Structure 1
Amino acid sequence: MSFPTRRKDMSKKRTIYSALPIVAAAYGEKLGVKVAIGNDDAYTDGKTIVVPNIPDDYPHMDAVWGYLAHEAAHVRFTDFGVERRRGLHAELSNVLEDCRIERAMMELFPGTSQTLNEVARYMAQAGHYEHVTDKEAPASILTGFCLYWLQTKAVGQSVLQPYLDSATPVFERVFPQGVVVRLNALLRKAVNTKSTAEVTSLADQIIKMIEEEKEKEEQKPQNGQDGNNQQNAGGNQPQNSQGGSGNDQNQGPDANGGDQQGKDQKQDDANGKSDPKGQGDQGKSDTDGGSKAGQSQAGGNSDAAKQDAAKMLQQVLNAGAGDLRGDAHDALKAELNRVAQDKGDSSYMTVRSAVNTQDNPAVGKSLVGDVKSTTSKIRTQLYGLVQASQRVAHRNQRSGKRVDARKLHRVVTGDTRVFLKPEAKKRPNTAVHILVDMSSSMAYKAANGKERQDIAREASLAISMALEAIPGVNPAVTFFGGNRNQPVFSVVKHGDTVQNRAGRFGFKATGGTPMAEAMWYAAFELTKTREERKMLIVVTDGQPQSAPACRSVIDLCERSDVEVIGIGVETTAVSGLFQKNIVIDDAAALQRTLFKLMERSLTAFAA
Structure 2
Amino acid sequence: MIAEELRQEAENFSPSEDDSELRDIFSNTLPVTTKWKLMGLPFNNPELIPSAGKAVYRTLHRALIDDTEELNGFRNRGRKLSSKKLVGSVLGDDRIFKTPVIENELSAAISILIDASGSMARGYQEIANAVALAMSKGLQSLQVKNEIGFYSSEMCLYIAKPFNQQYIDEKRFQVCSDLYTPSGEAMKSALMRLNRQSEDKKCLFLVTDGKPSCPGSFIEALELAKILGISIAVLGVGMTRDNIEGLDDKYFTNVECVSNLKTALSKIVKSNIF
Instruction: State TM-score, norm by structure 1.
Output: 0.34
Q: What's the CA shift string for 1:179-203, capped at 9, x where partnerless? A: xxxxxxxxxxxxxxxxxxxxxxxxx
Question: Could you say what secondary structure the match of 1:427 adopts?
Answer: strand
* Deviation of the 1:466 alpha carbon: 0.9
CA distance in 1 between counterparts of 2:30 and 2:255 reads 32
* Deviation of the 1:456 alpha carbon: 0.4
1:563 corresponds to? 231
Could you say if the C-alpha distance between residues 588 and 381 of structure 1 is closer, same or farther in structure 2, counting changes exceeding 3 Å?
closer
Higher relative contact order (CA 8 A, sep 6+): 2
Is the 1:566–1:574 Cα contact (8 Å) retained in structure 2?
Answer: no
CA distance in 2 between counterparts of 1:356 and 1:517 reads 17
Of the three residues 128, 139, 143, the one matched with 1:467 is: 139
Of the three residues 49, 55, 65, the one matched with 1:378 is: 55
CA distance in 2 between counterparts of 1:376 and 1:536 reads 18
Q: Equivalences for 1:249-328 in 2 at 5 Å?
A: none
CA distance in 1 between counterparts of 2:157 and 2:263 reads 24
Asked if 1:434 corresponds to 2:112, the answer is yes
Is the 2:117–2:180 Cα contact (8 Å) retained in structure 1?
Answer: yes
Is the 1:431–1:535 Cα contact (8 Å) retained in structure 2?
Answer: yes
Is the 1:368–1:502 Cα contact (8 Å) retained in structure 2?
Answer: no
Q: What's the CA shift string for 1:83-133, capped at 9, x where partnerless? A: xxxxxxxxxxxxxxxxxxxxxxxxxxxxxxx8x756522267x4xxxxxxx
2:165 corresponds to? 496
CA distance in 1 between counterparts of 2:152 and 2:49 reads 27
Question: Could you say what secondary structure the match of 1:523 adopts?
Answer: helix
CA distance in 2 between counterparts of 1:365 and 1:443 reads 12
Structure 1 residue runs of 5 or longer lacking an equivalent are 1-113, 127-334, 395-402, 404-421, 445-450
1:479 corresponds to? 150
Could you say if the C-alpha distance between residues 380 and 474 of structure 1 is closer, same or farther in structure 2, counting changes exceeding 3 Å?
closer
RMSD: 4.1
Instruction: State TM-score, norm by structure 2.
Output: 0.70
Structure with bigger helix share is 1
2:191 corresponds to? 523
Q: What's the CA shift string for 1:377-404, capped at 9, x where partnerless? A: 326634765799626399xxxxxxxx9x
CA distance in 1 between counterparts of 2:187 and 2:137 reads 22
Could you say if the C-alpha distance between residues 488 and 576 of structure 1 is closer, same or farther in structure 2, counting changes exceeding 3 Å?
same
Q: What's the CA shift string for 1:486-528, capped at 9, x where partnerless? A: 52211111121252x3221121111111011111111111111
Q: Equivalences for 1:502-521 in 2 at 5 Å?
A: 502-521=170-189
2:35 corresponds to? 357
CA distance in 1 between counterparts of 2:235 and 2:49 reads 23
Q: Equivalences for 1:545-584 in 2 at 5 Å?
A: 545-569=213-237, 570-573=239-242, 575-579=244-248, 580-584=250-254
Could you say if the C-alpha distance between residues 121 and 504 of structure 1 is closer, same or farther in structure 2, counting changes exceeding 3 Å?
same
Of the three residues 126, 137, 156, the one matched with 1:454 is: 126
Q: Equivalences for 1:347-426 in 2 at 5 Å?
A: 347-358=25-36, 363=40, 370-375=47-52, 377-378=54-55, 381-382=58-59, 385=62, 390=67, 392=69
Is the 1:439–1:512 Cα contact (8 Å) retained in structure 2?
Answer: yes
CA distance in 1 between counterparts of 2:141 and 2:107 reads 13
Question: Could you say what secondary structure the match of 2:188 adopts?
Answer: helix
Could you say if the C-alpha distance between residues 376 and 344 of structure 1 is closer, same or farther in structure 2, counting changes exceeding 3 Å?
closer
1:344 corresponds to? 20
Q: How many residues align?
A: 242
Question: Could you say what secondary structure the match of 2:54 adopts?
Answer: helix
1:5 corresponds to? none
CA distance in 2 between counterparts of 1:428 and 1:527 reads 17
Identity of paired residues, percent? 19
The one-letter amino acid of 1:462's match is A
The one-letter amino acid of 1:442's match is M
Is the 2:180–2:213 Cα contact (8 Å) retained in structure 1?
Answer: yes
CA distance in 2 between counterparts of 1:431 and 1:533 reads 6
Return the index of the structure with the highest Cα Rg.
1
Question: Could you say what secondary structure the match of 1:432 adopts?
Answer: strand
Is the 1:365–1:502 Cα contact (8 Å) retained in structure 2?
Answer: no
CA distance in 2 between counterparts of 1:576 and 1:582 reads 11
Structure 2 residue runs of 5 or longer lacking an equivalent are 72-79, 81-99
Asked if 1:538 corresponds to 2:206, the answer is yes
Could you say if the C-alpha distance between residues 573 and 480 of structure 1 is closer, same or farther in structure 2, counting changes exceeding 3 Å?
farther
CA distance in 2 between counterparts of 1:508 and 1:469 reads 27
CA distance in 1 between counterparts of 2:36 and 2:195 reads 26
CA distance in 2 between counterparts of 1:357 and 1:367 reads 22
Question: Could you say what secondary structure the match of 2:153 adopts?
Answer: strand
